[in-house]
Amino acid sequence: MKKGKKLYEGKAKIIYATTDKNLVIQYFKDDATAFNNQKKSIIEGKGVLNNRISEYILSNLSQIGIKNHLIKRLNMREQVIKLVEIIPIEFIVRNVATGSITKRLGIEDGTVLKEPLIEYCLKNDALGDPLISEEHIYAFEWANKNEIEKVKKMILRINDFMIGMFRGIGIKLIDFKLEFGRVKNNGKNEIILADEISPDTCRLWDSLTDKKLDKDRFRKDLGDLIPAYTEVAKRLGILHEQSNVTAVNVTKLSSVKKKSK
C-alpha cells in the first residue's frame, strides 16, 4: 500500500489517498487552532502525541466492540484509517459543564451533570459549527433516526469506557467531541467512530488539582501544552519509543512558554 495524493487538509490533520481505495492515511499536524480558526499556532510535537494517544484510545475502544476507522499507526505522525463518509455533525459529550455551555446557558463552571449530556453541532467552519437540535438533523437529512439511535448508544459506551480509563490514571473526563462515519460492510451501510480522540478533542483535568491537561492550555493561553499532553501519554503508559523526541520538545517548549496551572 503506497501513499497517494492529498485528498483533504483540515485544521489539525491531512488525509492522503492510498493504493487501496477503501483506506486513507491520516497525518497529524502540529497546528493548533481555537475559536473556529480565529486563534492559530504551531506547537512542535503536538501531532506526534495526538497520533499516539488517539491510536491508544481507538484501539482500546475496538477491543470493547466499538467499531472505528483505525487500521494501524504507521509512524510518528501517520495512521492508516478506513475511508468513511463523515456524518456532518460534531457530537459533544459533557460530564461536567465548562467551556461554551457555561457561557451559552449561564451555567456555573465545573457543575457536575447528573447524566452525560449530548449536544450536536453542524460541522461547518464557515458557519462556526452552530449548535443544532436532533430535529434539525432529521429535517435536513444529515443523518436518519436509526443512525442517531446507534450513535447515541455508542457514545454512552465510549463515555463510560473513557471515564473509567482516565479515572484509573488520575484524570477526570470533563467533555469531548466525537465524529462518526458511514462505511459499506458486505454491501450494508455501517456507522463507525472516526476522526481522533486526543487532548485536542477532550477536556481532561487532573483528578486532584483540576490542572488542565488538554487544548484549553492553548485556548486560554495557559502555556505548557506539550508537557500536559506528554503527561497524559505517560500516565496512559504509551510513551516508549519516541520518548526522546518528546523530551527534546518538552525542553524546548517549556523554556519559551510561561508556567501556569
Provide the binding-site residues for ligand ASP, judged by CB under 6 A.
11, 33-37, 215, 219
Residue 106 phi, psi dihedral angles, 5° rounding = 65, 30
Q: Quick one: what does residue 99 bind among ligand TMP, ligand ASP, none, with the CB cut-off 5 to 8 Å set by partner type?
A: ligand TMP
Q: Does 177 bind ligand TMP (CB under 6 A)?
A: yes
Q: Which of 131, 138, 144 is nearest to 105 (CA)?
A: 131
Residue 145 phi, psi dihedral angles, 5° rounding = -60, -45
Q: Does 175 bind ligand TMP (CB under 6 A)?
A: yes
> Of the two residues 201 and 230, which places its CB atom closer to ligand TMP in the complex?
201
C-beta separation of 165 from 171 below 8 A: no
C-beta separation of 28 from 15 below 8 A: no
C-beta separation of 33 from 40 below 8 A: yes
Give kind and range of the element (H or E) at residue 242.
none
Strand 171-185 and strand 202-206: the pairing is: antiparallel
Number of residues that bind ligand TMP (CB under 6 A): 11
Q: Does 51 bind ligand TMP (CB under 6 A)?
A: no
Work out how close the CB of 198 gets to ligand ASP at its nearest, in angstroms, rounded to a whole number: 11
Work out how close the CB of 34 gets to ligand ASP at its nearest, in angstroms, rounded to a whole number: 4
Q: Quick one: what does residue 35 bind among ligand TMP, ligand ASP, none, with the CB cut-off 5 to 8 Å set by partner type?
A: ligand ASP
Selected binder of ligand TMP within 100, 157, 163, 223 (CB under 6 A):
100
Stretch that binds ligand TMP, among 1-9, 110-118, 196-204, 245-253 (CB under 6 A): 196-204
Handedness of CA 121, 122, 127, 133 (dihedral sign): negative
Q: Which residues bind to ligand TMP, rule: CB under 6 A? A: 92, 99-101, 129, 175-177, 201-203
